[in-house]
A = this chain, B = another copy of it.
Amino acid sequence: MVDKTSGVPVHRQVAADLRERITAGEYAPGDKLPSERAMIETYGVSRLTIREALSILRAEGVVVTEHGRGVFVRPPASIQRLSRSRLSRAARAENKGAFLADAAAQGFTPSSSVRVRFEPADERAAGHLGIQPGDEVTVRDRVMRADGLVVQLAVSRLPRTFTRGTAIEEVDTGPGGAYARLEEAGHTIGHYAEHVGSRMPTPEEASALQLGQGIPVITVTRVAYREDGTPLEMNDMVLPADRYELTYEWAAE
């Protein structure tokens, strides 16, 4: 089963063997693997070696361990697909923003909590918003839930010059959300840009999004621009990578 003279670390051999059996279908998604103590017998190695092998598979997102229950092949999460059409004015007219529009389309019960605060812009925010570091920005910190489960974190920043006296500085921005309030104030949105990346979550994000080991987050920074090109809003979103796929479409040329 394992070759201790091959030079390849034994725990890697065990991990490779288990990975093969899983991809071959010997253990299906959701199935329980043998217990660690059973694997000690099977492979003839110490418990730590087994646990190192399982640690590799956890980091790859292949298995999940549950204390007191066992080790299981990770079942695939249901993927939600997001496309940019959710930002259309037509959707805004009927709903309260992009997230509620998604909920209506995908059939889950949405909820969200918002905290509003004001702070000086940092280097990065100033760069995206075309203002000076230290200029005051309105910050809307949102946690979005689907059927009670946290599925998305979003931090929106706007130069305060655009939000003073509007409902954007309130917890409830009203029908159509912040973008609708901006347009009412004469700031018609001209175009959007989204910057997409990925990384491992911070411990705070991992617990907020209830992420298991081996699940990255997708980061999306959306910047909304006025028709004259002035940046109006920067929105930093963090999505669990096992539950989201983003779709972008555009005409050739």
Where the two chains meet, the residues of A that have a C-beta atom closer than 8 Å to any C-beta of B are 16, 19, 48, 55, 59-61, 79, 81, 84, 87-89, 188-203, 213-218, 224, 241-242, 244-253
Contact (Cβ within 8 A) A248 B197: no
Tell me the number of copies of this protein.
2
Answer whether A192 and B88 are a contact pair too, CB < 8 Å, given A59-B213, A198-B241, A199-B216.
no
**How far, in Å, is A84 (CB) from chain B's closest CB?**
6
Answer whether A198 and B216 are a contact pair too, CB < 8 Å, given A190-B252, A250-B84.
yes
**How far, in Å, is A245 (CB) from chain B's closest CB?**
5
Pick the contact of A197 from B87, B245, B249 — CB < 8 Å?
A: B245
Pick the contact of A191 from B196, B197, B198, B252 — CB < 8 Å?
A: B252
Contact (Cβ within 8 A) B196 A248: yes
**A244 and B241 alpha carbons, distance in the complex (Å):** 16
**A214 and B245 alpha carbons, distance in the complex (Å):** 20
**How far, in Å, is A174 (CB) from chain B's closest CB?**
19
Answer whether A249 and B192 are a contact pair too, CB < 8 Å, given A59-B213, A213-B59.
yes
